[in-house]
Structure 1
């Protein structure tokens, strides 16, 4: 079968309650002919499958045969409505179960105060039967489906355990002498079901919060847009827009689609998309992102991307893919979960047999076996990893950090070396006037003369000169009789002088030397600066001054390097630029390990050498030439604004080009993996402690039910603590 025939399906799976369920669905889907890969996420209740398109009916049938229900995900608003209705229905079931179970527990609480209350057997039965047979029916249905599929799950454990307690009570009531009230266990069965229902409801609410980041991103999409046609505004659904349409975006509105500003000036609030807290200025020619909020200006925007090709859709797709993927540590959990339920059933049988052989009555032996069945719930195991991944990747996306490779979460804590590209990563990637020296007069005069020659030019160095003029509030008049000097520069008349600006060839042609500027010129050249000489060519040739251009550091570059070094992480600079320029940038940042004039293939080789030396390496870059190195590193981190190839090769993408997000990305990855380990620790600890206590008769079935519910809720709640994370954006240290 051709690889091109495969499609990625996403199916919603109904009825999963624990890790064993997720594993069974995954195995059932994996057996369908043509399936190349499958991943089932218990927390999001989704299955992601790579298979030929024609296998969809077979995939749906396989899930049904395994005892669950599958369907393609609904449109998000409908899905959200279904979730709200389900949570509301669960809430009323929990309230009813607790109201019925509470009177059954009154005798136990009254005994603590020396009061002896005993409810009639018929009343205990009347209260417990609706809980067991109606509200608890879901456990019987799901448990039976698991048995039909030749497996077991949490529902089967609860159904067996509570049925044993309920059935024992019926037997004791039937055997009791007329007029006597035997000790019954209706309250244990009813309270266990009520507590399990409460735990599942709290767990569902908490799981819904882990997907809040995706829902927040989806809510950014406006439903309507104002299209501009032949001078008239018309309001149309966003679905009807086409690339090339002109839109009008008023102050305070969200941009309906990705586009380019054609007319007007404003600012855009892109905080929920890039994590950038400050508004970004927008003028004609600037790009805008669908979902961002327009500031105080009216803009006309030409649509450049829609639907799945928009920035917002790509962000959502990356986050969803990360949340659907399994971290390598999950493989251990899957192996444990596969044998967990059968193992618990065996332990319960051994507990029953052991107590009977020890001489205990059937009543005691059965209650202890019930406690084993109730305490051993694999929910916490199944939720430990996916809830932490969903919460961690969600909060990271909210701050402009897209983690698309969940394996990076495990690797991030081991990173001890970060290699940076220079241009566009640590520096702005645009030439800027960094040095200015005049022979006679002031530097302002020198800059005004250079600016007069460069007015109207689109050359990068010309833009750098004009930007420097603007910073000093200089408004140079445009020189007259401008004439390009191919390969050398430009000349023109300004203030009665004939001026030339360009390379050193102009000096040689005019018979001039650098003179007093020679030392400064040599120093700037050693730093990799680009030099432009300004001279008067007539009537008498003479040198007026020297301009130096270079790439400037990005805001946050020093703080990023300092933050990494404070964590004992080694920093390297690997650049294709000249040695002087690379060394100058490294010196400003405090990076001692520098490799310059490196070809793209050699960048990947440099990363490989670092890994061979025993380092765990993260590579940070933004360009096409960085893609091989990003792929070669243990973790590739692509800077926002870079090429699509770089973003595809990287495991982590930063939505804005702030280098300070690099240590932040490593930090949230480390914290997410720490939550996974904490959750797995608590999930295993509950069972390691609870199972022996239940088997040795030290844990009442009611307390076992409470502990089981608490285990799932605590694991999800612990993962939700990640949603409070804020990146530490350090201030720039002094150069």
Structure 2
């Protein structure tokens, strides 16, 4: 089974790795993915061998907290859950404010005299230096208690031999605090033995303000980071906010207002103009225009009347409607979109594995470097104050926050931006890999074309047009194929009486066999006619003419011979030609895969300027074409409607489903384009490229920062250039590094997709 958990206490990529390692040690755990930004974990395991409690205990053993995600919430209430980023921000604000209450007077007392600021008489002079030291320690301890999480998690991780960012902070600030206590002892010894000069000397060596300042600056950085992380989730939060908390429902002829989690399938819901739709449903009375831009990105409102479907989180613009609830809670379109975006954030992009590998050895390496720095400076200078200062600076500036944030924060912003544009990435891996596509294979019906067919020609050399059309419509009445529905609709428009066919049997990728008025008929493509050895030559001239117009032609035959043909045209989407041109300009090869006859397919291919056309292809053969391209070493993106294209969507390196209307599309595809526009494929590829570029910038900064920062903190450039970092500056620099990474990722919110010309 697959289960999601909320994880608390993580602060860096080393924390993330520690949780993953601890859970991976459990028997029957097949996959673990921890997300540092959302503080969530997704685990696949055999629930017959281990339980949720075993997994939670494994997380706690690593020094962190865990709980089943949304355990206390119902499906409907999941839409109204408290924002975890808001909670994190509130905690950080609390810690920051109360830390500053003690930190400001501490800093004034410790540094005020150096800045020429007035000081209370009781804290000035060598005779009062112990009083000043006691005052400082009393102001430092509350700051340490308020930020005790650093020590609790950091030292526990250290004992588990999986040190993390908190371990570095805990070691650095503890070293400064302990050194300050040692200095107090030396001052007390000096007073007791009359060595006032030593007392005066050590009076300037207290490190209590550095202890508190490290904690406050790190917390300040975390506060700004939490604010920025909250902005990264704005896309999901804005979608959640669009769903109303209450709805007016008609039950037993009485209108009642109830919370949306109490709506059940079949309820009749009333929506006034200007109100948002609470759940998915079908209109049973009234007509209106619906603004679906929140889900589809399409700014033009859509006209809706009786029988039309409506989706939760869309806005009723003009008319009063009643509709019947068809999907509620987590089954609504908006809930599935939110779930897909959140799932994408719990997965890990391949590029993130680089940061994980480094994090596994980074923190232990930093601790070793800090120890070497301390020993080296003690040997070189013999000055304990300088040696401790250098070692603490190394520990603090090396905190791998920026490294851990580099990938997940960009993924979160990227997937959130995609959701706003109507592009759903099912995983971080699909977001990373999409822009690497070398070949795009496009299904025709519903992808390049609208899938809405119109009958253009009806030809029969044996029967009258009406008689032939009645037989054809009777055969197609029970079929779900778009061509069949168009023929039935056309016959009904002609006022013809359609019979009920018997012994209906669909032949996958070929056609249909049925009995009408006691006689057997079959209908389908040329391949079916050839298999049944029917002579189609008398219709060849018609076929050639219709194919030149890119019509799709269906053959009809009785038990003896072909009785006629019907040609239909599918409307080319306005965006298809522009999308193909854009793909080719990006250096991507574009091909079409269709079951249409060769002439029709080639005509359409020429209109669009496709590189290659595969025609007369059965559904099973589409998957084979995808496989052949992959075997050639090409990275393949297959785009289809997600129904009969499921095998191809699954086989391709990246499967892209047009439209989110079917569960099959969501299951089979890696990326779902909610709108039926191929231009969104261009937007998805460009967003993928922008996100990966952003991640690489973040990783470069994180590596570059530590590459430069650690040597400076260790004092390698002190003798040559006088460069030195005290612990307070190191803490400030570390916080700025994390803030830079998060802010850089937020630039993805400025990504603008292209729209039809």
Instruction: Place the TM-score, normalised by the shorter chain, in its bin.
Output: 0.7 to 0.9
| Counterpart check, 1:720 vs 2:731 | no
3-state secondary structure, aligned to 1:413? helix
Q: Which residue does the alignment assign to 1:50?
A: 44
| Counterpart check, 1:180 vs 2:200 | yes
| Structure 1 contact 623–642 (Cα < 8 Å) conserved | no
| Counterpart check, 1:64 vs 2:84 | no
**Cα distance in 2 for residues equivalent to 1:485 and 1:65:** 71
Q: Which residue does the alignment assign to 1:629?
A: 648
| Structure 1 contact 125–186 (Cα < 8 Å) conserved | no
CA gap 1:146/1:433 in 2 versus in 1, 3 angstroms: same
**Cα distance in 1 for residues equivalent to 2:137 and 2:209:** 7
3-state secondary structure, aligned to 2:633? coil
**Cα distance in 1 for residues equivalent to 2:234 and 2:293:** 16
3-state secondary structure, aligned to 1:423? helix
Bigger mean CA deviation after superposition, 301-310 or 169-178: 169-178
**Cα distance in 1 for residues equivalent to 2:281 and 2:365:** 58
**Cα distance in 2 for residues equivalent to 1:188 and 1:618:** 55
Deviation string 1:1-44 (CA, Å, 9 cap, x unpaired) is xxxxx2x2222222111111111122222223333322111111
1:682 Cα deviation after fit: 1.0
CA gap 1:169/1:259 in 2 versus in 1, 3 angstroms: same
TM-score, length basis structure 2: 0.79
Deviation string 1:235-254 (CA, Å, 9 cap, x unpaired) is 22322322222222221122
1:144 Cα deviation after fit: 2.4
| Counterpart check, 1:126 vs 2:140 | no
Equivalent residue pairs, number? 650
| Structure 2 contact 271–321 (Cα < 8 Å) conserved | yes
| Counterpart check, 1:341 vs 2:360 | no
CA gap 1:591/1:106 in 2 versus in 1, 3 angstroms: farther
| Structure 1 contact 531–549 (Cα < 8 Å) conserved | yes
Matches within 5 A, 1:123-202: 123=132, 126-127=135-136, 129-131=138-140, 133-172=144-183, 174-175=186-187, 177-178=195-196, 180=200, 182-184=203-205, 185-202=207-224
Q: Which residue does the alignment assign to 1:515?
A: none
Deviation string 1:306-334 (CA, Å, 9 cap, x unpaired) is 12222122111111111000112222222
Matches within 5 A, 1:573-652: 573-640=592-659, 643-652=662-671
2:15 to 14, 21, 27: 21
1:95 Cα deviation after fit: 3.7
Matches within 5 A, 1:263-662: 263-432=285-454, 460-461=486-487, 522-529=544-551, 549-640=568-659, 643-662=662-681
| Structure 1 contact 388–720 (Cα < 8 Å) conserved | yes
CA gap 1:548/1:597 in 2 versus in 1, 3 angstroms: closer
1:700 to 710, 723, 726: 726
1:601 Cα deviation after fit: 2.0
Q: Which residue does the alignment assign to 1:12?
A: 6
Gaps of 5+ in 1: 1-5, 112-116, 437-449, 468-477, 488-517, 533-545
**Cα distance in 1 for residues equivalent to 2:653 and 2:311:** 31
**Cα distance in 2 for residues equivalent to 1:372 and 1:555:** 59
3-state secondary structure, aligned to 2:244? coil
Q: Which residue does the alignment assign to 2:527?
A: none
| Structure 1 contact 575–598 (Cα < 8 Å) conserved | yes
Q: Which residue does the alignment assign to 2:91?
A: 86
3-state secondary structure, aligned to 1:597? coil
1:553 Cα deviation after fit: 0.8
1:30 to 20, 24, 30: 24
1:671 Cα deviation after fit: 1.2
1:573 Cα deviation after fit: 1.0
3-state secondary structure, aligned to 2:447? coil
| Counterpart check, 1:241 vs 2:241 | no
CA gap 1:484/1:23 in 2 versus in 1, 3 angstroms: closer
> Superposition RMSD on alpha carbons, in Å?
3.3
1:709 Cα deviation after fit: 0.8
Q: Which residue does the alignment assign to 1:475?
A: none
CA gap 1:549/1:10 in 2 versus in 1, 3 angstroms: closer
Q: Which residue does the alignment assign to 1:447?
A: none
CA gap 1:526/1:695 in 2 versus in 1, 3 angstroms: same
Gaps of 5+ in 2: 74-79, 118-122, 459-468, 478-483, 502-539, 555-564, 719-723
| Structure 1 contact 266–298 (Cα < 8 Å) conserved | yes
TM-score, length basis structure 1: 0.81
CA gap 1:464/1:295 in 2 versus in 1, 3 angstroms: farther
Deviation string 1:46-72 (CA, Å, 9 cap, x unpaired) is 111223556122222222222222223
3-state secondary structure, aligned to 2:436? coil
1:401 Cα deviation after fit: 0.4
**Cα distance in 1 for residues equivalent to 2:639 and 2:161:** 49
**Cα distance in 1 for residues equivalent to 2:338 and 2:241:** 11
CA gap 1:554/1:466 in 2 versus in 1, 3 angstroms: farther
CA gap 1:188/1:577 in 2 versus in 1, 3 angstroms: same
CA gap 1:276/1:346 in 2 versus in 1, 3 angstroms: same
Bigger mean CA deviation after superposition, 421-430 or 75-84: 75-84
Q: Which residue does the alignment assign to 1:540?
A: none
| Structure 1 contact 418–619 (Cα < 8 Å) conserved | yes
Q: Which residue does the alignment assign to 2:700?
A: 681
